[in-house]
Amino acid sequence: MTAEFAVTLPAVLLLLAMLLAGSAAGITQLRLEDAARAGARALARGEDPAAVDGIVRKLAGPSASSAVASGGEWMSVTVSDRVAGPVGRMVPWTLTARAEARSETAASAPSPDAAQPAQAVPAGRGSTDGQFL
């Protein structure tokens, strides 16, 4: 073993550990985002909070914690969990994701504005496929 190899080996191992920790954090964040989104959709459909917690734990993992909040017609689900792996055990690295969805039960009730017909947009105005004309 040469001296150069002995000096660079710890730096390479540290870089590899940081890469693996970042990957674990990214995967954990994606799981939390998916779980929060699915939980918010279920809550908006009218599922009870216990069922929403089951959906969240199924997608995010059994160690994830979730909080459900509703304010008016908007429902939100917040999901938190620690990063998995050796880095997550050594460093208290907790990630959080939050998703909101409009209540479908509140949206199905007729609103005061529902009696008024929608006004037509004049030709040449409005947006099409995300492009403004």
| Lowest pLDDT segment from 17-21, 53-57, 112-116, 124-128 | 124-128
Q: Which two tokens stand for residue 75?
A: 């429902």
Per-residue confidence at 102, pLDDT binned at 50, 70, 90? Answer: very high
- Quote the pTM value: 0.70
- Start-to-end C-alpha separation, the chain: 67
Percent residues over pLDDT 90 in the chain: 47
The strand pair at 94-102 and 127-128 is best described as unpaired
Residue 53 — pLDDT band, cuts 50, 70, 90?
Answer: very high
Instruction: Pick 122 or 110 by higher pLDDT.
Output: 110
CB atoms within 10 A of CB 110: 7
